[in-house]
Structure 1
């Protein structure tokens, strides 16, 4: 399951995966995020808040995840991984080659620091 929390005032989406991710998780996330992006042209930031990274329940779920990233990465200014998993740092380095957003990793209990980082950087523009 993927919890999607759109903070409209800050223009930030917080994604909190729990258990194996399925295709419908990404479709539901898109249904929440896409109308906001259409109206506002972008998101200041996306926060992925997860203690340890989940897997996908099927190959089609992985493909839907990649489609979600492809459809949204150009409209997101900042991406924060808030996790204690070493995969967060790997993802930060790996994804830097594929998406235009500025990426940073924070410890799992530092959600507020991640939000502050996104909002501070957005205010500097």
Structure 2
């Protein structure tokens, strides 16, 4: 399950994976995000709260995640990842090679700093 909310008049999307990820959830999330991108042309940022990531239900869910990322990353300026996981701490370094957006990790307790960073590019 992926919960989401918007910050700063739909400039920043916060997503919170709270259960094992399923393919339909990425389609549902895209249905919420795509109209905002069409209206504004881009998203200032995405805040991924990865504190409770449980992985993917199956390979199809992983593929859906990759498709969502491929379709959205060109319309994002920055991505902030909240996590205290050592493994997830390396995710931004890996993602920076594959996505157009600048990606940065933040400790789980620093959501306000992450939002501030997302709001002020440069």
TM over 0.5: yes
1:26 equivalent in structure 2 = 26
The CA distance in 1 between the partners of 2:8 and 2:117, in whole Å, is 17
Greater shift after overlay, 2-11 or 60-69?
Answer: 2-11
The CA distance in 1 between the partners of 2:42 and 2:88, in whole Å, is 23
Structure 2 unmatched ranges of 5 or more: none
The CA distance in 2 between the partners of 1:16 and 1:53, in whole Å, is 8
Q: Secondary structure at the match of 1:74?
A: helix
Structure 1 unmatched ranges of 5 or more: none
Aligned length: 122
Q: Deviation per CA, 1:22-81, whole angstroms, max 9, x where unpaired?
A: 011101110110000000000000010121432100111110000000000100000000
Q: Secondary structure at the match of 1:73?
A: helix
> Is the Cα–Cα contact under 8 Å of residues 10 and 119 in structure 1 kept in the other structure?
no
4+ residue segments displaced more than 4 Å: none
TM-score, normalising length: structure 2: 0.94
TM-score, normalising length: structure 1: 0.92
Q: Secondary structure at the match of 1:6?
A: strand
C-alpha root-mean-square deviation of aligned residues, in Å?
1.3
1:49 equivalent in structure 2 = 49
